[in-house]
Each structure stands twice: as structure tokens, then as C-alpha cells.
Amino acid sequence: MSYTLGIDLGTTSVKVTIIDSQNLSNKVYSESKATASDIKGDPKLGESLQDVSKIYQTLLHLIQNAPQEVLDSVTSIGVCGQMHGIVYWKDKEAWTYNLKEELQVGSGVSYLHTWQDSRCSPEFLATLPPASTRVNSGYGCATTFWYLQNLTHFIQQFDRCGTAMDFLVSMILNLEVPVMSDQNAVSFGYYNPSSEDWDRQVLSSAGFPTKILPKVVPAGTCAGNLPSSWQGIKAGTPVFVAMGDFQASVKSMQENENEDGILNISTSAQIAFLIQRSEKEKYSLPKSIDFFPYFKNTDLAVAASLNGGNVLANFVSMIEDWTRTLGLDISEERIWSTLLEVGSTSTDNNQESNSQASLQIVPTVFGERHNPQLRGSINNIRNDNLSLSHVVKALYQGLVDNLTEMMPPSLLQERGIKRIIGSGSALIKHKCLQTALQEAYGIPLVLKDEGDSSYGVALAVVHK
């Protein structure tokens, strides 16, 4: 037997999936576990930090629970995870071995600065040198510029950097020079996919320490072979360069690359379609769409919204706070179940068909990368449209309107997209959200329980 191990280092959890390399639909082992790795950062700075060691220990726990006979047959390893963020480390001090000769995270490693880190304000970003692709707060290079201008001594401690996934690959392969896929490099900032290199001259002129940047290779490239056995997996097993979790998720869901659009609404929201790099100039695209490398000279045209399930969660937290202030004890679970119930019921005054009477919610409370100053608002408040049902449905509709503004339905039609494959916990749970999306885009919405990035990265490795 020949098995492939897929690893996904997510924002809140780690998931591993082991598949049969000949029968790709056969998942012989699949488990996930929350990392509980969040570090309390400075809220005034907008820090979002995680403990790399806890993420790694969570991964080890999952692998150790896999049957040994399965691990014995693993012949390749793929890794993906949360994009944009950055880990800094120091060569020779970033990993070590304990008394049991087990590989562990060393002392020369920073916290992971996640994609949610918001220390780089729009005003700060405006001072940065021009980049080949968009750079936002939470991107590795933007965070590095922030440190260079505010805490230079912090950067001087380290001589390597990469995403959390790049660090894992470097550690288990004992790499002296880290490698990064083009997928993660674009999400890092200051990488030019056309020249296939960092914007070195621009970065150097701005005082950026380019020597700490990883070597970039195409997604699907083998980064090396295990120098020794690791958690029961044999020495010599090839490990592939880490990929983006969104690309891996698309890989796990898409059945027809030319006709399937991909939508995920969980904490945030992303809607995308595949496009040949040579065709990009044919389309007139809004600034809300970014291109991310996929595979085989193709890109994903992605509208990535910062507002998704987190908006609904924020709404629930607000209600919970209000009820507590009023002296009532209503659980968060009860609030969620009530919202799902009222969101699926129809109102009896036919106001949904009258736009002049409809409550309108703009739910962009977290801003957007293409417009960080964007904020939420509520419009057309009347005495007869403030029931909980009206508010919940307006919130759903607002999320959909924001997505269709970022990724217009006409663009999907022009591209020839025949259906949208949807996933993510927020989309799966909320029927009213599904209905509003299907009506807005005018093509079938096909739901999948989960866009499984750990499964997708395993598929990508097998196909290579």
C-alpha cells in the first residue's frame, strides 16, 4: 500500500488526512484538533499572535493517533495552512531534539503573526514602497516593515522567516534555507509572479532585510526528503513545499475546473474561479479581486472578504451582551438556534418584495482589504421592519450584497461558470444565506460539507 499524508495548519485547528495514493477517495485516516494556541497580544496594536510550539504539538498528537501500519505506508507528505502570516526564526536555534530524540520547536522562534494581525494601519501601509501585488495588514512583508520602523531590534534576532507551514517543512527536513511556494509568496507580499522572484530591488532600497526571505519554488515542488524517521514515518519520505489552504480547499472541491466557481463562508468569505494566466487581460476586474497562483500555469481569481461568519458571530455576541445587561440569562447556543429559526421563516407583511420598506444592513464591520476604511451601517430603519426576522434577513442579504459587489455575477457568467460549489460552516448552517446567494448569482449553488484543505493538499501531492 502507498499512502499520502496531508496536513493543514489552520487558524484555529490542525487537520491531518491520509489517503490511499491509488484510490484517492479512500481516506484511511482523518482527524482534526483545536490548537488553543492564541497568545494575548496588545489590543491597541491589533496584534494577532499564536504559539508555534502549541501548533506543532497539536499536529504531533494527531499523527501519533494514526495507526502505525498506516504511517509505515506513508510515501509522501503535503502541507498547507493559513496564508499571509509570518514566523521568524534563527538558524541552528529554531528546532532541537529532546532526550527521547524527538524533534521539537526550539527557543529561536517567534510567535506566529497571523493573517488577522491588524497592526499595519491604512496610513502605515500607504508609506510602504510599491509592490507587484497588493499588500495588506497581516501579510508577512508588511509585518516585517512594521517591525523595522517600530521595533528594529526584534527583527535583528532572526535570520529566517516564512509562513507557519514553511517553518514546519523547514523543521522536519532540517533545511538551512527555507523554501516557499509561489502560492504563499504572493500572500506574503512583495512577490512578483511574472518574474518569479521577490521585489528585491524595491525591498532593498527600503532597507528590508531580503536575506531572511525564503527561496520561492512552484507549488507542487518537492522540498526535500525526511533526513530521519519522523513520528513513525520513514526516513527518505518526500515532503512537498507548503501550499495555501485556499488553493488546497479548491483542489478538494472542484470537479470541473472550467465551469465550477468556488465559494467558502466560514470565519471570513472567499469566492473564486480558475483562469489561465494568459487570459487575465481579457476581463475587466474590480479592485476587490486578487490573483493567486494555483497549479499548471493557472491562477485563482479570488474575491476574499473579511466579513463572513465572523459578522454573524459578532451579532450573536451583541445580543448576548444586551440580554445580560437587561438581567436575562440566555445562552449563546439558544441565540444561535433562534436566529436560524427566524431566518428561515417568512414575514407576513410582504415587505421583502418592497425595497423601499426593506431594512438594509451593510455588514462590513471588519472592513475589506481593498477598502480598509469600509465600515458597516444600517439604512432605511422604519417602525415596521425591526422584528428580529427582518434584522436577521437583512444581515444575510447584506453579506450577499457585499460578495456580489466584490465578485459581480456578470463576471462569472462571462467566464462561463455554470455552478457554484459552496462550503464552510456559516454557509452550510444558514439556509437563508444559501437562498439569497443563489438568487443573487442566478446559477445553482451545490453544497459540500467542507472544503477539506488537508485532503486537497494530499490530492495535489499525488497528482504531482
pLDDT in tens, 284-313: 788 899 888 998 788 999 999 999 999 999
3-state secondary structure of 419: strand
> What residues does 6 pair with on adjacent strands?
17, 78
Does 357 score more than 90 pLDDT?
Answer: no
**Residue 211 DSSP code:** G
Please provide the average confidence, as pLDDT, over all residues in the chain.
92
Q: Which of 232, 237, 301 is nearest to 273 (CA)?
A: 301
- State yes or no: pLDDT of 425 exceeds 90: no
Quick check: 347 pLDDT over 60?
Answer: no
Q: Which helix (H) or strand (E) holds 453?
A: helix 453-463
Q: What is 259-449's CATH superfamily?
A: ATPase, nucleotide binding domain (3.30.420.40)
Q: Classify the phi-psi angles of 174: left when phi > 0, otherwise alpha if psi is within -120 to 50, otherwise beta.
A: left
% of the chain beyond a pLDDT of 90: 76
Looking at the chain, which residues constitute the CATH 3.30.420.40 domain(s)?
3-241, 259-449
35-45 pLDDT per residue, tens:
999 998 898 89
253 close to 262: Cβ distance less than 8 angstroms: yes
Residue 387: pLDDT band (50, 70, 90) is very high
Calculate the alpha carbon distances from 222 to 155, 209, 219, 227, 464 in Å: 29, 26, 9, 14, 9
Backbone angles phi, psi at 355, to 5 degrees: -65, -25
Residues 20 and 6: their CA atoms lie apart, in Å, by 11
Task: Return d(Cα 210, Cα 110) in angstroms, integer.
Answer: 18
Q: Where are the alpha helices (DSSP H) in 181-307?
A: 182-188, 200-205, 245-253
Evaluate if residue 351 carries a pLDDT over 80.
Answer: no
pLDDT-based confidence at residue 349 (cuts at 50, 70, 90)? very low
- Which CATH topology does 3-241 take? Nucleotidyltransferase; domain 5 (3.30.420)
Where do we find the cell 494514526?
A: 66
Of all residues in the chain, what percent are helix, strand and coil, respectively (each to 5)?
35, 25, 40
Strand partners, 262: 272, 421
pLDDT of residue 346: 60
- Mean pLDDT for 180-199 is 94
Q: Exposed (0-12), middle (13-18) or buried (19+): which is 206, by Cβ within 10 Å? A: middle
Residue for grid cell 470537479? 255
Task: Give the pLDDT band of residue 350 (cuts 50, 70, 90).
Answer: very low
Q: Are 27 and 17 in contact (CB under 8 A)?
A: yes
pTM, two decimals, is 0.83
CB 286 within 8 A of CB 119: no
